[in-house]
Amino acid sequence: MGSLLSYVANGALTGLLYALIAMSFVIIYRSARVFNFAQGEIVIVGAFLVWTFMSAFDLSVWVSVPLALLSSMLLGVLIERVILRPLVGEELFAFVMVTIGLLIFIRGVVLVAWGPEIRFFPVVLPVAAVKLGSLVFDRALVIGGVATLVVAAIASWFFNHTQLGLEMTAVAEDHQTALSLGISVKRSIAVSWAISGLLSTMAAIIFLNGKGMTFLASDIGFAALPVALLAGLESIGGVVLGGLIVGIAVGLASYFLDPIFDGGVGAVFPFVIMVIILLIRPTGLFGWKTIERI
Amino acid sequence: MTFPGGVHAETYQQDRALIRTPWQWLWFAGLIAVLLLLPFLGANSAVGIATVIGITLIAVLGLQLTSGCAGQINMGQSAFMGVGAYAAGALATNLHWSFLLTIPIGGISAAVFGAVFGLAALRIKGFYLALTTIAAQYIFTFAMLKLPKKWFGQSEGLRLDPAALGSFAFDTDNRIYYLVLAVVALMTYGAWGLMRSRTGRAFIAVRDNDNAAEVIGINVFYYKTLSFFIGAFYAGIAGALWAYYVRYVQADQFTLWLSVWYVGMLIVGGMGSILGAIIGTVVIRLMQELITVVGPMVADVLPTLGGQFVFAAMNMLLGGLIILFVIFEPRGLVHRWNILKESYRIWPFPH
């Protein structure tokens, strides 16, 4: 540890984890034009679901992980049906506010259901570190990095080559046009929330595997924001690149700046990157440019 | 705004007046009297609650100007508040300046900090802007914990002496209450005036459609930045008062979570109206107090819920309220209040 290379490599892996969460932002944003501030809370709900099935109900990994993935998909659909559907066609502000409300509400529910104490997330993925020469990696992050790449490839293919995916892309472009072409906007949005719930729980497993967790771990949702922004909020493939760039930049920043600031740079640097992106190129690397008319 | 029958303005002066009917004067005088006499009326805890409501109200008023009137989503209000608190606190502890100076300087420093992040409004809008303000929150916390210890005390925070004028110190709950009350009155009056001014109208034009506003000759960038400047100024004043009230400033007091609560108060009260900010703040704060009182009782009766129930219940209540209001009454409580007032005035006629 301590070498520059290991900071870069571990940064890249963390970046890929952020990319997975960023992807769950992007998928909802593409179809619903909703920026889901509550994403971090959904990640945490997914984590607690896995914990409940495995540690509280004592089910095996092979049962509980699919169950948790399924329930988080259902949660996504439920949120869409109950909260977001009444708002279709409303202005942007309403969506921002409702997802903020959702953020607070889910946190309350998580606290009532699971309480504030530290839980140990079950070991779903092997914990033994991966050694590659002098480099040491968290095995869950390595598996997660590969999973992110695979998911990104599947998602890109899904959105560009399948009927449903193309319909969802059309919805992303414009709700009214999509409606007039006979595409069900409601279904697209529901599907995107389900996929997003699925990805959130995957990210939760990779992120928390074998570690202690409290409801505060939901902050990772905000930490993934810079990745989504750098990629551009409409780009699925771009988040992988965005994740790598942000992750490596954060790794380098921790390596060079931590000694000066006495640690903690890694937590704030993504947000510095985010402000810079927003000031220079708000649409990100691969985002769609929109033209506004009066 | 409509008035009861028989109220006609004959001069511009009358038309501009804030309070126009004898009944309004009566209610206003009653309100002022209650606020002034509050320390002598109720229990001691009422004064403490009222002080916290007052400080919160200043921050929420600022948020109302930025978000409600000018339409710029701001999730960094508590960071701006923190900047004000730290600026006032540092000047008071290190340089021993009077609170008459440190509170306004706290406001100005928060305003500058806020305007820097508001500058992003040149290129971006909507929730992108919310993201820069979230970034402001993280950068604020980092900076306060890392800047030299001599300035802001790092993780130990700052401890303040009570605000003092000569030998008169605002060191009891009642005294600080009157200080806060005076500032709240001033800031509310300012916000009310601002809303009725050219600036306020420009804010509303920018909120309703910034492209259209640009076309009719409003300098959109200037007004967006200005809305952040003013909103953060309010937050800074609130933060400085908070510093003098708690007499302790620490980065943990100003979390992203607090900003989210402020936004919630705004939604419940009603976006874009000063009265809405007041109603929202008072209602949500009182509910919080109610839950802190009732919650432990419920937890006693149903011990399975445990001690965290109070905090959790608050979150569920506020989150649920925000969602319900956005879906069913996006204009907030103030809209309901106006409907009520209107139907009372024209009763028994339907319209």
Question: Residue A60 — left, alpha, or beta (φ > 0 → left; ψ -120 to 50 → alpha)?
Answer: beta
The percentage of residues in chain B with a pLDDT greater than 70, rounded to a whole number, is: 96
| Of B337, B336, B75, the residue nearest A93 (C-alpha) | B75
Establish if B128 touches chain A: CB-CB under 8 angstroms: yes
Q: Give the chain A residue whose CA is nearest to the CA of B215.
A: A294
- Quick one: tokens of A5? 């290379």
Task: For residues A132 and A255, give the distance between their C-alpha atoms in angstroms, rounded to a whole number.
Answer: 20
| Of A37, A31, A45, A23, the residue nearest A196 (C-alpha) | A23
- Quick one: tokens of A128? 């033994």
Residue A247 covered by a domain: no
Q: Give the chain A residue whose CA is nearest to the CA of B148.
A: A261
Query: What's the distance, Cα to Cα, between the start and end of chain A in Å?
Result: 56
* Residue from the list B75, B124, B138 with its beta carbon closest to the beta carbon of A268: B138
- H-helix or E-strand spanning residue A137: strand A135-137
Establish if B209 touches chain A: CB-CB under 8 angstroms: yes
Residue A172 covered by a domain: yes
DSSP-based three-state secondary structure for B125:
coil
Q: Give the chain B residue whose CA is nearest to the CA of A113.
A: B305
pLDDT recorded at residue B216: 92
| Of B221, B195, B207, the residue nearest B71 (C-alpha) | B207
DSSP annotation of A122 reads: P
Q: Which residues of B touch A37 (CB under 8 A)?
A: 130
Task: For residues B51 and A236, give the distance between their C-alpha atoms in angstroms, rounded to a whole number.
Answer: 49
Establish if A83 touches chain B: CB-CB under 8 angstroms: yes
B266-306 confidence digits (pLDDT tens):
989 988 889 999 999 999 999 888 888 877 777 777 666 66
Establish if A92 touches chain B: CB-CB under 8 angstroms: yes
DSSP annotation of B154 reads: G
Q: Which residues of A touch B209 (CB under 8 A)?
A: 294
pLDDT recorded at residue B83: 94
| Residues found in chain B | 351
Q: Which residues of B touch A98 (CB under 8 A)?
A: 322-323, 326-327
- The domain in which residue A135 lies consists of 4-218
Q: Which residues of B touch A215 (CB under 8 A)?
A: none
Interface test with B, best of A111, A230, A246, A293 (most B CBs within 10 A): A111
Establish if B73 touches chain A: CB-CB under 8 angstroms: yes
Query: At a CB cut-off of 8 Å and minimum separation 6, what does A97 contact?
Result: B263, B267, B322, B326
Class level of CATH domain B43-346: mainly alpha
Establish if B316 touches chain A: CB-CB under 8 angstroms: yes
* Chain A with chain B: Cβ pairs closer than 8 A: 139
Q: Give the chain B residue whose CA is nearest to the CA of A260.
A: B146
Residue A278 covered by a domain: no
Task: For residues B90 and B84, give the distance between their C-alpha atoms in angstroms, rounded to a whole number.
Answer: 10
* Residue from the list B126, B271, B315 with its beta carbon closest to the beta carbon of A105: B315
pLDDT recorded at residue B1: 55
pLDDT recorded at residue A1: 46
CB contact under 8 A, B142 and A267: yes
Complex-level ipTM: 0.81
Query: Which residue has 């939604």 as its token pair?
Result: B267
| Of B68, B36, B90, B96, the residue nearest B234 (C-alpha) | B68
* Residue from the list A83, A111, A222 with its beta carbon closest to the beta carbon of B134: A222
Nearest-CA distance from B112 to chain A in Å? 17
pLDDT recorded at residue B306: 61
Nearest-CA distance from B301 to chain A in Å? 16
Task: For residues B218 and B220, give the distance between their C-alpha atoms in angstroms, rounded to a whole number.
Answer: 6
Nearest-CA distance from B244 to chain A in Å? 29
Provide the residue-wise pLDDT of chain A in tens; the chain has 294 residues.
457 888 888 888 888 888 888 888 888 888 777 888 888 889 889 888 888 888 878 778 788 888 889 999 999 999 988 888 888 777 777 888 888 889 889 988 888 888 777 778 877 777 777 777 777 777 778 888 888 899 889 988 988 888 988 888 888 887 888 889 888 888 888 899 999 999 888 888 888 877 777 777 777 888 888 888 888 777 787 888 888 888 888 888 888 887 777 767 777 888 888 888 877 877 777 777 777 666
Residue A140 covered by a domain: yes
Q: Exposure string (b/e) for B91-106, b if CB count within 10 Å is 16 or more?
A: bbbeeeeebeebbbbb
Please report, as a single letter, which amino acid is at residue A8. V
* Residue from the list A93, A225, A268 with its beta carbon closest to the beta carbon of B139: A268
Positions of E strands within chain B: 158-159, 164-165, 168-169, 248-249
CB contact under 8 A, B326 and A101: yes
Nearest-CA distance from A5 to chain B in Å? 26
Residue A105 covered by a domain: yes
What mean pLDDT do residues B117-134 have?
78
Residue A167 covered by a domain: yes
Establish if A89 touches chain B: CB-CB under 8 angstroms: no
Task: For residues B230 and B227, give the distance between their C-alpha atoms in angstroms, rounded to a whole number.
Answer: 5
Q: Which residues of A touch B131 (CB under 8 A)?
A: 225, 229, 274, 278
- Quick one: tokens of A211? 């570690």
Q: Which residues of B touch A222 (CB under 8 A)?
A: 134, 138, 256
- Quick one: tokens of B337? 């209040």
CB contact under 8 A, A100 and B260: yes
Q: How many domains does chain A have?
A: 1
Query: Which residue has 């074998």 as its token pair?
Result: A210
Q: What is the CA radius of gyration of chain B?
A: 21
Task: For residues B77 and B98, give the distance between their C-alpha atoms in angstroms, rounded to a whole number.
Answer: 25
| Touching A: B residues 271-310, CB under 8 Å | 271, 305-306, 308-309
Task: For residues A61 and A123, give the distance between their C-alpha atoms in angstroms, rounded to a whole number.
Answer: 9
What mean pLDDT do residues B240-251 have?
90
CB contact under 8 A, A271 and B124: no
**How many CB atoms are closer than 10 A to CB B344?**
9
Orientation of helix B99-118 relative to helix B127-146, angle to 10°? 130
CB contact under 8 A, A104 and B260: yes
CB contact under 8 A, A108 and B135: no
Backbone angles phi, psi at A46, to 5 degrees: -60, -45
